[in-house]
Amino acid sequence: MTLPGAPWLHRRGRTLYLEDVALDALARTHGTPLYVYSRAAMRDAARRYERALAGRSHLLCYAMKANSNLAVLQTLAAEGCGFDIVSAGELERVLAAGAPASRVVFSGVGKTRAEMVRALQAGVRCFNVESLAELDRLDDVARALGTRAPVSVRVNPDVDARTHPYISTGLRDNKFGVVHDEALAVYRRAAELPGIDVRGIDCHIGSQITELAPYLDALDRVLDLVEAVEAEGIALHHLDLGGGLGITYTDEQPPAADALVRALLERIDARGHGARELLLEPGRSIVGNAGVLLTEVQYLKPGAHKNFCIVDAAMNDLVRPAMYEAWMGIVPCVERDGTPSVWDVVGPVCESGDWLGRDRALAVAPGDVLAVLSAGAYGMVMASNYNTRARAAEVMVDAGRAHVVRDRETTTQLFAGEHLLPD
Ligand SMILES: *Cc1c(COP(=O)(O)O)cnc(C)c1O
């Protein structure tokens, strides 16, 4: 079987490698749970988008909430990427990674005044505004600073991305964006506000999307609005079509990034909008298959109805299975002889929802290291300290070398900010 993450993730004999680094040995050196990323894999994913966009005015804004480690940002900044952020904290990460704020777009439904001030002072490229109330606040903040805020309105095109309900964002009943029917009124208001500089239009319909059709439907709805807005004399410089392209976890067959870009450009050209700058905000499709989570088998607990394989990674390290019932591949780092049994791979956290994979055929023994595949996106960034568990370390492999890009948290760090009461 081809592994998701190939060719960077591959086997030599029985041993699993990421690029030229044996994962079992890496787990022994750095301990588990351990996130490991391939720098070549994320570069390649970004280049697939970049190649398809070549010759067009564009900015690929990596949606950094998928994986915001500074070394990941540094790698993508060097590829020419900008960043889609959803908090002031993410902006500080971009700046710490050495990338300019002029390549940042700021999304999210709940921007605070303090976040607006920081983003305006840093000089972000655009705010993706998600409501009339937010627009008014941003105008107020910008005028107080004696400046104008560059703005796109995030419109909700009311198309079904046909993905998990928790990661679908483009339907009328989602909290995201301005509903299509009200978008024109929001643009009219934006054009009148002295602290607002209308720059473009934005949409983002969901995540783990595996078909082209929802993108093209959303694009058509967005272009209808562009035409209506410009008919009123309000110029829109750029189109931001969001992110959301899916990856292969098991048998999904999402379109390739270049096929998606080509289809979008074709439709944009066919409707006469080819001169407009294009922004995209991919997250998962840049980093998802560039990473794995390594975990060591602690105990085997066979039972009458279920066999449990208890590992040292848990829902606090990787929440996707518990939160979305997401299926993620789980394979041994060194294959062993013996007939596989069927196991539920579970963590030590005190919740029945703490599982990483159910009904997996594996030949395993305590002490073996397993790799949870496709863990580069929405893995470490969603980790918590539930059960007072320190968060995992992160390693980036690059040209045959392994670099620790985040130290394992220590237990004392976990309660360093807490205080005992005076007696
Ligand atoms: C999460 C998010 C993205 C990226 O989604 P992926 O599915 O990871 O590509 C892009 N834009 C916005 C506004 C988002 O919230």
Residue 191 lies inside a defined structural domain of this protein: yes
* Ligand 1 atom closest to 377 (CA): 8
Pocket residue to mutate for ligand 1, from 64, 65, 208, most atoms within 8 A of Cβ: 65
Residue 357 lies inside a defined structural domain of this protein: yes
Q: Is the CB of 65 under 6 A from ligand 1?
A: yes
Domain count, the chain: 2
Are 296 and 164 found together in one domain? no
Distance, CA 83 to ligand 1 centroid (Å)?
11
Are 169 and 261 found together in one domain? yes
Residue 124 lies inside a defined structural domain of this protein: yes
Q: Is the CB of 281 under 6 A from ligand 1?
A: yes
Cα of 74 vs its chain's centroid, Å: 16
The CATH code of the domain that includes 278 is: 3.20.20.10
Distance, CA 375 to ligand 1 centroid (Å)?
16
Instruction: Map residue 389 onto helix, strand or coil.
Output: coil
Boundary-marking domain end, from 282, 311, 329: 282
Residue 171 lies inside a defined structural domain of this protein: yes
Whole domain around residue 261: which residue ranges? 107-282
Residue 65 lies inside a defined structural domain of this protein: no
Q: Which of 143, 98, 153 is nearest to 120 (CA)?
A: 143
Are 223 and 345 found together in one domain? no
pLDDT digits over 18-42, tens only?
999 999 999 999 999 999 999 999 9
Boundary-marking domain end, from 266, 282, 298: 282
Distance, CA 396 to ligand 1 centroid (Å)?
23
Q: Which residues of the chain have pLDDT under 70?
A: 1, 163-173
Please name the residue that has the structure tokens 């001030």: 117
Q: Is the CB of 207 under 6 A from ligand 1?
A: yes
In total, the chain counts a number of residues equal to: 423
Query: Nearest residue CA, atom 1 of ligand 1?
Result: 63
Distance, CA 66 to ligand 1 centroid (Å)?
8
Are 320 and 268 found together in one domain? no
Q: Is 350 a catalytic residue?
A: yes
C-alpha 21/C-alpha 35 separation (Å) is: 13
Are 321 and 405 found together in one domain? yes
Q: Which of 240, 283, 226, 208 is nearest to 105 (CA)?
A: 240
Distance, CA 242 to ligand 1 centroid (Å)?
6
* Ligand 1 atom closest to 66 (CA): 8
Q: Is the CB of 284 under 6 A from ligand 1?
A: yes
Pocket residue to mutate for ligand 1, from 281, 289, 381, most atoms within 8 A of Cβ: 281
Distance, CA 368 to ligand 1 centroid (Å)?
35
The CATH code of the domain that includes 30 is: 2.40.37.10
* Ligand 1 atom closest to 206 (CA): 7
SS3 annotation, 252-310: CCCCCHHHHHHHHHHHHHHCCCCCCEEEECCCHHHHHHHEEEEEEEEEEECCCCCCEEE
Angle at 157 between CA 154 and CA 158, to 5 degrees: 130
Q: What is the pLDDT of residue 104?
A: 98
Q: Which helix (H) or strand (E) holds 85?
A: strand 82-85
Are 264 and 297 found together in one domain? no
Q: Is the CB of 154 under 6 A from ligand 1?
A: no
Residue 90 lies inside a defined structural domain of this protein: no
* Ligand 1 atom closest to 282 (CA): 9
Are 300 and 255 found together in one domain? no
SS3 annotation, 119-157: HHHHCCCEEEECCHHHHHHHHHHHHHCCCCEEEEEEEEC
Are 219 and 137 found together in one domain? yes
Q: Is the CB of 125 under 6 A from ligand 1?
A: no
Residue 51 lies inside a defined structural domain of this protein: no
